[in-house]
Chain A
């Protein structure tokens, strides 16, 4: 007799019937296990949350008073006989892959991840499993990241050059993850780091959580423009082109995102500099991560799911495309333009998904488990 799969894809999120909990659900549920604190994974309105302890303060800051239980990497929690544990995903501080085990059957939900060690969050760790539910935001062979040391050498030399030309420097990245990664790799011998309020709020939440970050200065009404212009400003995507940003002009503005790999996307953003830097795995990273789990089946939740699953099948994996609301719709991310920035995020990280994405699916596909 066929065993019922431990995890299934429902219209509320990834569901474990046996344990009666959801992973990263987008509809209110009783028990939610959260991979990381980005808004497309950590929704408001659940009764109980389970997350990694380094996500604690950011979750409180973003979701308010929630009933939250936290765990360490590797620590085991039992729910109705199902064992839940978390392993580092290397995406942002506190991000975790969720390992679920029952009766010898092991499933892992990756959430978002990257394979390169960014020196800020705990590096990604492959987890052996039977079934791997993976993201594939950048699941196209055109996306291949350079080592971050090269990118930050560029960032710092660009900053230095701007200072020499009396240009202010504005670097843009989403507030949880990219902002800290940038901050920790800046060469502070060049100048001070100034932060937009949204970013500083996240920094403060992380510091409350015991994370040690380089010193930053929150930009306020009292900030002296001439001083700020000598430093570097870390700003969220939503601030691009706003009066807030313009008052520091003339400036050079750099955008940090994996989408910057494409000339078209870069030109649409109208950034002076596009730094190709992502907190998601690139093509090679995705394949090596999936391979390392030694899984029997892999399910692709968001990103270039159609292309990537086809390729994985070509090279011998049992790969399936599933539809979720993570990351909004697959190809949506690069569509954002400077004139209409998303509230935050790498174009999509923190977007509220729209119901229509689900309705557009042909019946029976993606939901319920036709793929299983």
Chain B
């Protein structure tokens, strides 16, 4: 655990990519292989099962730190991170632990089914054995909120260097459903065992936005400059559902979401079509709610995401189907090296012979001759329930991760509305103790109705200004939330809008974010609820 806590500290102490890779390599070189696998699991979001729930964790931390519960909560609001709060509040006993990461996680897993009193004793004992930094990392593992300031790509790059393998291979072998207890480091880095797991998905190829960071649209001329001739590109609608990889190998089927969650059970409608595919087939596509052959908005799909059990009613109200984009494995062969056009032909062949065409759709190609023409077609995106257009170079291979060059997403402008900030709440992590989470409202007569929360879109400098405004213009405090004097106006962008019975305003927005601070607008000139609802009509 010492080495792991030190890794965490060292990663925090530098903002330079090269330094971070160096720190990671150091770590890999000095810990046992089982620790490496546990570290990889944690850094790629495979956390151990939660054995101590949040209430127990808080209660026992309050007890061990010997402060009143309200003071614990106030401390938490300032720190913005539960694991860190507890690490700071507990008394320091001047100890430090020699147990390895593997041993600690072993102990955590052994808590399963233990009586509460034993969990309590174990936790209190463990806290006393650790120094503050170790306690912080330990709490992170325990509470499952494991986010580090380092991307999985960097971890893989460091590991690839240490293991003398290429990063794409490691990325692929890190995919899927493995547990650090059973997946050995030798298996991960040993060449022959790469494809043994029949469930293992390929790393997703992800597109970059054509607009890059700016919200400004690209003209057809700019598209020509960026991408070259239109005839080198294939265009499809950019569907707004759940990106997924569907696998049929050795008679078994697997559906993976892009977040590397195994979601086979969540989409029973797709099982038959998968079973009918030949063994050794892997498809890339989007899962959407469909009705009468028409895709529905993401809001409909959302009603069934995250449910543990799918009731009959949900399956009836929000049935799903697949829109296939690509074929990655054909007849047991990894065909990611083939061109977009070649893969597309194989995909069309598979789709043409399916007895389940109502759930096995193929993403239709858009016919266009020039960027001008495509720009015009793109205007119909909202009517198509699409987010815009996907562009794929006809001779592109299927690559690993988010790459510039061969796949681009050309999204439509977000919808936008000018709104007044009325509530603010402190953020977390890097934004802890700063008011960064805002609630926005529009006018309904002379009242302001809240309709959206947004966290992102402002620069650090702007955040500091808003933070200072919030602190000086607080009207009321409700726990962590402050009601602020309605004064600041922001342009809020969003991808979609739907009716909602759960929200006071009667609407729910998709991906709301701050586009800009409207210093030029007094609050009286912010938009009204009527303007907002008019956007529903489309």
Contacts and interface: CB of A to CB of B under 8 A. Distances in A.
A218 interface: no
Nearest to A264: B432
B430 to A, nearest CB: 5
Contact of A141 (B13, B75, B472): B75
B74 A263 contact: no
B149 A267 contact: yes
Nearest to A315: B68
A262 B79 contact: yes
B501 interface: no
Contacts of A331: 78, 433, 471
Interface stretch (B187-195, B285-293, B460-468): B460-468
Interface string B421-433: 0000000111111
A332 interface: yes
Interface residues of A, number: 34
Contacts of A266: 12
A334 interface: yes
Contact of B461 (A263, A310, A314, A337): A337
B257 interface: no
Nearest to B67: A141
Interface string B84-102: 1100110010000000000
Nearest to A266: B12
A371 interface: no
Contacts of B428: 264
A270 B15 contact: yes
Contacts of A265: 432-433
Interface string A335-359: 1110110000000000000101100
A327 to B, nearest CB: 12
Contacts of B88: 141-142, 144, 261
Interface string B13-25: 1110000000000
B472 A329 contact: yes
A314 B472 CA distance: 27
Nearest to A334: B433
B474 interface: yes
B431 A264 contact: yes
Interface of B: 12-15, 65, 67-68, 70-71, 74-75, 78-81, 84-85, 88-89, 92, 149, 428-434, 460-461, 464, 467-468, 471-474
Interface of A: 140-142, 144, 261-268, 270, 272-273, 304, 307, 310-311, 314, 329-332, 334-337, 339-340, 354, 356-357, 360
29 contacts: A141-B88, A142-B79, A262-B78, A262-B79, A262-B432, A263-B12, A263-B84, A263-B432, A264-B432, A264-B433, A268-B430, A268-B431, A268-B434, A272-B15, A307-B71, A311-B68, A330-B471, A331-B78, A331-B433, A331-B471, A332-B471, A334-B434, A337-B464, A339-B460, A339-B461, A340-B461, A340-B464, A356-B472, A357-B472
Given A335-B434, A340-B464, 12 more contacts: A142-B75, A142-B78, A142-B89, A264-B428, A264-B429, A264-B430, A272-B14, A311-B68, A329-B471, A339-B461, A354-B472, A360-B473
List 5 tightest A-B contacts by C-beta distance, closest first: A264-B432, A142-B88, A267-B430, A329-B471, A335-B467
